[in-house]
Structure 1
Amino acid sequence: MVNRAPSDGPAAPAMHTARSVRTVLGDIGPTGLGVCNAHDHLFLRSPQLPGQELADAEAAAAELNAFRAAGGAAVIQWTPYGMGRRAAELPRLARESGVRIVAATGLHQAAHYSPELLARVHGDLAGLFVTELTEGIGGTGPRAGMIKVAGGFHGLDRHARHTMAAAAEAQRATGAAIGVHLELGTGALDVLDLLCGTLAVPPDRVILGHLNRSPDLVVHRTAAEAGAYLAFDGPSRAHHATDWRLPEALAALADAGFGDRILLGGDTTTAAARSVNGGPGMPYLLGRHRERLARTLGKDLVARFLTANPAHAFAADWAPTG
């Protein structure tokens, strides 16, 4: 095992005392986030996944309890607007499990929605995102703590560009981080060109998801050099042939001094993938997956991926409301 101490590379940016993470039970100091699953789903519904909905609240509770028993303290739910977030359930689940939950606003690829829904929200997406971040989801629900958008396979269509423009406007208004679904891990640099170039979003407010699915080490390093956070999520998926490349990819980033840009997540998207139904689920992140990464990277650096890094990535200087 190569010994890579947590101090390798540049230090994580200093945390301004006013910064906080917006959970479904209220804002907390970044250090209170704890061991964090930086990308997962408690509830999810899409016409692209018929019959595989995450809709059972008690199964979600069981999954959170299993994650907590494995040492987990926080879950960032990346389920955006119109995909069955069941936001009203999230505060109860957080209280009963003791796991901090961050909810998302935002919009996924057009394929996940009906044309009628897209037509209804198209005109003021930024306003919708800001409302959910500052007032609450659905008018009375908990506030979202991040914005989730999506690119396409090796490209950005008109829907993605419109959604990302709205996300950038909402980010400027609130300070929230923007998490980006990269289709099979592709298009990361196109996303950064749009969000951080054309739309002037600070790179450290952008989290690129699913990079493990496209183990292009040059792209990974380029994105890290730009200042974005890199999320490697969805381990132990039989149809993701790149899982075995993850230790190599993370080692390359750490050796180049970018250990402070890495986040880890589970990305449970179907009921069958939950640990309570026999899948890897949320606990896998803190069990065999963490152990495997520690063999290459060392326990301290992997702990940093799970604690200090998400604390910085999801904390924001939230703009005053009211």
Structure 2
Amino acid sequence: MSGVVRTVLGDVPATDLGAVDAHDHLFLRSPVLPGHELDAPWAAEAELRAFAAAGGGTVVQWTPRGMGRRLADVVAASRATGVHVVAATGLHQAVHYVPPLDHVELDLLPGRFIEDLTTAPVRAGLVKVAGGFHGLDEHARHTLAAAAEAHHVTGAPVAVHLELGTAPLEVLDLLCGTLGVPPASVILGHLGRSPDTRVQREAARSGAFLAFDGPSRAHHPTDWRLFDELAALADAGHAGQLLLGGDTTTAAARSVHGGPGMPYLLRNLRPRLGAEFGEDFVVQVFHRNPARAFALARKESSAVPDGA
């Protein structure tokens, strides 16, 4: 295994990530979640410490531009805890931005994504964008195109929020078919929220990575299907494409506030996965797969960013 992953403290060998929470949030703000902001630096650091105590090595924060990334605080938390953190650039669905972005702002996205990935004081390591509910609206198509352009320049992976787990095939058709992003540089998020194993297997056949996340109160009705979905995909030969993340989006969901939080993946889910699928599967999902999924498609400077 080779390649580097771009963290907020600089590029690190992909083999040095340790156990990875492939989709989570240390900081997050959205008008869709009023009163549930993740904005406390002490809580972010405490959550990273709890994750490290459970055996965690890296957290991938999918918070995109304009949603309270607080990158300076991410850097501080990473330094204080020794946990690698991969930050995101990109843009979420239009509903998360008030006032809405106009066409001029949308046209500037490729350059802004590329700057975030290459020359910003704290550099991102992936592009996070979003599809729509059972389809792609104009905003989604615009941001996916910007993400593809940024990938072609930087080699950064593209992570896609699937609304309630829907429209993965439409995303792949545009992102990989029309826009030319290699499927191995695409991560499809929230697939478990639409537990259609046939669609999941079809998406897997593209070669993209498949990210399952949780647990959560909002999506508890589908959380319990996780093992059946993982088994179906592994049996179909796709174990090498599976990723797992916590996707903590509210303060109440953090372990430091009594929720499952980031440590749940390793304290609760990991031993159950080992008992069900074997230790090699666990190492594959938490170590080997993320090392490939989040590696830059081409290596740039390994220096720590200025000001980080």
The residue that corresponds to 1:56 in the other structure is 40
Matches within 5 A, 1:281-300: 281-300=261-280
| Aligned partner letter, 2:8 | V
Deviation at 1:296, TM superposition (A): 2.1
Q: Tell me, what secondary structure is at the counterpart of 2:292? A: helix
The residue that corresponds to 1:182 in the other structure is 162
Deviation at 1:306, TM superposition (A): 0.4
Does 2:114 correspond to 1:130? yes
The residue that corresponds to 2:70 in the other structure is 86
Q: Percent identity?
A: 63
Deviation at 1:270, TM superposition (A): 0.4
| Aligned partner letter, 1:225 | R
Q: Tell me, what secondary structure is at the counterpart of 1:226? A: coil
Match of 1:251 among 202, 227, 231: 231
The residue that corresponds to 1:313 in the other structure is 293
Whole-Å Cα distance in 2 between the matches of residues 319 and 291 of structure 1?
A: 35
Does 2:52 correspond to 1:72? no
Q: 1:118 to 1:297 in 2, by over 3 A?
A: farther
Contact 2:27/2:37 (CA < 8 Å) preserved in 1? yes
The residue that corresponds to 2:281 in the other structure is 301
Contact 1:65/1:97 (CA < 8 Å) preserved in 2? yes
- Measured on the aligned residues, the alpha-carbon RMSD in Å equals 1.4
Question: Which consecutive segments of 4 or more residues in structure 1 shift more than 4 A?
Answer: 116-120
Whole-Å Cα distance in 2 between the matches of residues 167 and 319 of structure 1?
A: 18
The residue that corresponds to 2:96 in the other structure is 112
Matches within 5 A, 1:19-34: 19-34=3-18
Contact 1:46/1:113 (CA < 8 Å) preserved in 2? yes
Deviation at 1:25, TM superposition (A): 0.5
The residue that corresponds to 1:35 in the other structure is 19
Q: 1:266 to 1:273 in 2, by over 3 A?
A: same
Whole-Å Cα distance in 1 between the matches of residues 272 and 218 of structure 2?
A: 17
The residue that corresponds to 1:230 in the other structure is 210
Whole-Å Cα distance in 1 between the matches of residues 197 and 176 of structure 2?
A: 21
Q: Tell me, what secondary structure is at the counterpart of 1:180? A: strand
| Aligned partner letter, 2:179 | L
Contact 1:235/1:289 (CA < 8 Å) preserved in 2? no
Q: Per-residue CA shift, 1:187-246, capped at 9, x if unaligned?
A: 100100010011111000100000111111111111111100000012253643011111
Deviation at 1:123, TM superposition (A): 2.1
Contact 2:157/2:297 (CA < 8 Å) preserved in 1? no
Q: Tell me, what secondary structure is at the counterpart of 1:280? A: coil
| Aligned partner letter, 1:38 | A
Q: 1:261 to 1:239 in 2, by over 3 A?
A: closer
* Structure 1 alignment gaps of length 5 or more: 1-14
Matches within 5 A, 1:89-168: 89-115=73-99, 117-118=101-102, 121-136=105-120, 140=121, 142-168=122-148
Q: Tell me, what secondary structure is at the counterpart of 2:74? A: helix
Contact 1:110/1:118 (CA < 8 Å) preserved in 2? no
| Aligned partner letter, 2:29 | R
Matches within 5 A, 1:200-279: 200-237=180-217, 239-279=219-259
Moved more, 113-122 or 49-58: 113-122
Q: Tell me, what secondary structure is at the counterpart of 1:310? A: helix
Contact 1:178/1:206 (CA < 8 Å) preserved in 2? yes
Whole-Å Cα distance in 2 between the matches of residues 48 and 162 of structure 1?
A: 21
The residue that corresponds to 1:12 in the other structure is none
Whole-Å Cα distance in 2 between the matches of residues 44 and 236 of structure 1?
A: 16
Whole-Å Cα distance in 2 between the matches of residues 240 and 303 of structure 1?
A: 25
User: Please, what TM-score do these two structures have when normalized by structure 2?
Assistant: 0.94
* Structure 2 alignment gaps of length 5 or more: 302-308
Whole-Å Cα distance in 1 between the matches of residues 218 and 162 of structure 2?
A: 19
User: Please, what TM-score do these two structures have when normalized by structure 1?
Assistant: 0.90
